[in-house]
Amino acid sequence: MNDHSPTPPPATVLIVDDTPANLRLLAGLLDSAGYQVRPARDGRMALSVAQSAPLDLILLDIMMPEMDGYEVCRQLKADERTRAIPVIFISALDDVHDKVRSFSLGAVDYVAKPFQAEEVLARVRSHITLYKLQRDLREQVAELDAFAHTVAHDLKNPLALMIGLIDFVMLQFADDVPQEMMEFLKKIESTGYRGVNIIDELLLLASVRKQDVKSAPLDMEMIVAKAQDRLSYMIENYHGELHIPEQWPTAVGYAPWIEEVWVNYMSNALKYGGKPPRLELGTAVQPDGMVRFWVRDNGPGLSPEKQAVLFTEFVRLNEVRVEGFGLGLSIVRRIMDKLNGRVGVISAEGQGSQFYFELPAGQVVSV
């Protein structure tokens, strides 16, 4: 059976050297090896070519007039269009400081002149292969992210419709529906909310992983009020009792993410607290300048073994498959990592649990 799949185009290599003899030597070497070669005799021409044509690798000389190789590499790595292209320095400079500077600017390799043809070809081949694998992986991850978001939103729509219809039935036909059937409807509604919550957590996890945000002073009173409003149905169903401070110290962070932290901690306390649950929200400035915020519950407490794994991926608070929030706690940890904060728990069996997070006080930073 003949393979009629198209032959992939040859990899394209940009060679930058102000010495014509060196340029011809490298161009002939790579051309004979099957690569498509783009020559450039100075740094400005190199930047122009890199920004206008797709490249798989750049061979870059250091000692050039007007703009040396270091500056060319710096500008390549500062430009989103060219940042990912691997750069190999080829230079007569063979001092360790030159090599260290090259790698610190983002080069992937360094070849000293005079060079062996076999060595150059081996390094070019290796880095082009690695670059193409990384590029394919980035494309696959982007496709997977897009697919996951599409599936998530497609799942939320029917769940939201189901919850809305059940609410309508329970309100309009409360006197006509038997009590046993009403309990079934409440369980279906609760399951629908759980499904929406899982989808929202997965979407949030993806956004925290990819998104860069800027921290700013937080209006914690408003953030907590929004979280409490989002959990009003749970507070009513669990007959929860909340105690909230009248004043909050100033901390910096990203308000939408901090709201998610409060929602996670408070929902955990409602589900795993006492019967009925009693939640105490609190805050205190720490000696190191961080501000600690917490939710303390009146639940059964946690063993040291459970505390050790709470903030890892996909761990449930209970061994049985009830409404576990391991994914939510792992998201809390990721949020705090991105915001230069900390998370933790203070608990003892029979004495309840205090879940806390800490944020910097009074300093606005980019993360």
Average pLDDT value for the chain: 85
Range in 52-61, 149-158, 288-297, 339-348 the model is least confident about: 149-158
Q: Does the pLDDT of residue 6 top 80, yes or no? A: no
Q: Average pLDDT, stretch 330-341?
A: 88
Q: For CA atoms 314, 317, 322, 324, give the dihedral sign.
A: negative
Strand 87-91 relative to strand 36-40, pairing? unpaired
Beta strands in the chain (DSSP E): 12-16, 36-40, 57-60, 87-91, 109-112, 216-217, 241-243, 252-253, 278-285, 290-296, 342-347, 353-360
Band of the pLDDT at 327, cuts 50, 70, 90?
A: low
Beta carbons of 89 and 123 less than 8 angstroms apart: no
pLDDT of residue 93: 81
pLDDT of residue 365: 41
Highest average pLDDT, of 1-10, 77-86, 322-331, comes from 77-86
Range in 54-58, 273-277, 285-289, 312-316 the model is least confident about: 312-316
Q: Collapsing DSSP states into helix, strand and coil, what is residue 93?
A: coil
Strand order in the sheet with 353-360: 241-243, 278-285, 290-296, 353-360, 342-347
pLDDT of residue 209: 66
Band of the pLDDT at 33, cuts 50, 70, 90?
A: very high
Q: Does the pLDDT of residue 7 top 70, yes or no? A: no
Highest average pLDDT, of 47-56, 324-333, 357-366, comes from 47-56
Which pLDDT tens digit goes with each residue over 102-123? 999 999 999 988 888 999 999 9
Estimate to the nearest angstrom the gap between the alpha carbon of 9 and the chain centroid: 34
pLDDT of residue 143: 76
Q: Does the pLDDT of residue 302 top 80, yes or no? A: yes
Q: Does the pLDDT of residue 207 top 70, yes or no? A: no
Which pLDDT tens digit goes with each residue over 14-32? 999 999 999 999 999 999 9
Q: What percent of the chain has pLDDT over 70?
A: 87
pLDDT of residue 113: 85
Band of the pLDDT at 291, cuts 50, 70, 90?
A: very high
Q: For CA atoms 169, 173, 175, 180, give the dihedral sign.
A: negative
Band of the pLDDT at 39, cuts 50, 70, 90?
A: very high
First to last CA, the chain: 55
Estimate to the nearest angstrom the gap between the alpha carbon of 101 and the chain centroid: 29
Q: Average pLDDT, stretch 268-279?
A: 90
Band of the pLDDT at 210, cuts 50, 70, 90?
A: low
Which pLDDT tens digit goes with each residue over 167-178? 888 888 877 778
Kindly give, in sequence order, each residue whose CB lies less than 8 Å from that of residue 105, ignoring residues fewer than 6 positions away: 70, 73, 74, 77
Range in 94-103, 177-186, 249-258 the model is least confident about: 177-186
